[in-house]
Amino acid sequence: MEPVRIFKTLADETRFKLIRLLLTHDLCVGALAKHLSISEASVSQHLKSLREAGLVRGEKLGYWTHYTVEKEKLHELAELLGDLTRLQPCLEGVCIKKLNSKIDCHKEEEKMCDCKCQYPEKLKGKPEECTLEQIKECHGETEHPCDCGEEKEKE
């Protein structure tokens, strides 16, 4: 299952509580229902979603199935989030107009010419929707630094 779908599964408050409980003890549906004060049917439905996401697994112990967290999967998700935080600095100084395209952090031409918004608190709406007055207020000029090179290439 793709990470976004797994995060959506975890975004449900009840499922998140189930994971937290199961990290402390392996429990059956009845015990989980009692701890969360919800029906066993509801717990079963949430566990089904968590199983499909690969976050929990059940182990039959006699008549009951006890559930446990797949900790390795949680570690993978934590690692993915860590990777995202390490990628963020790569975007610093990248032209806002090129953010929608693929960005290769090692290509100098993808970067802006030392132009950064001097007053981000003055930004109203999306940068590409700014009026000339807002751009001038923010940058001190109305031309987008990346447009200069494009215009020269066209001439």
0.75 exceeded by pTM: no
Domains of the chain in sequence order: 3-73 (1.10.10.10), 92-154 (no CATH)
Average pLDDT, consecutive stretches of 10 residues, N- to C-terminus, the chain (155 residues): 88 96 95 96 97 95 93 92 69 55 49 55 69 72 54 45
pLDDT of amino acid 112: 46
DSSP one-letter string for 60-104: EETTEEEEEE-HHHHHHHHHHHHHHHHHHHHHTTB-GGGTTS---
pLDDT of amino acid 70: 95
Are residues 40 and 30 in contact, defined by beta-carbon separation less than 8 angstroms?
A: yes
Are residues 112 and 97 in contact, defined by beta-carbon separation less than 8 angstroms?
A: no
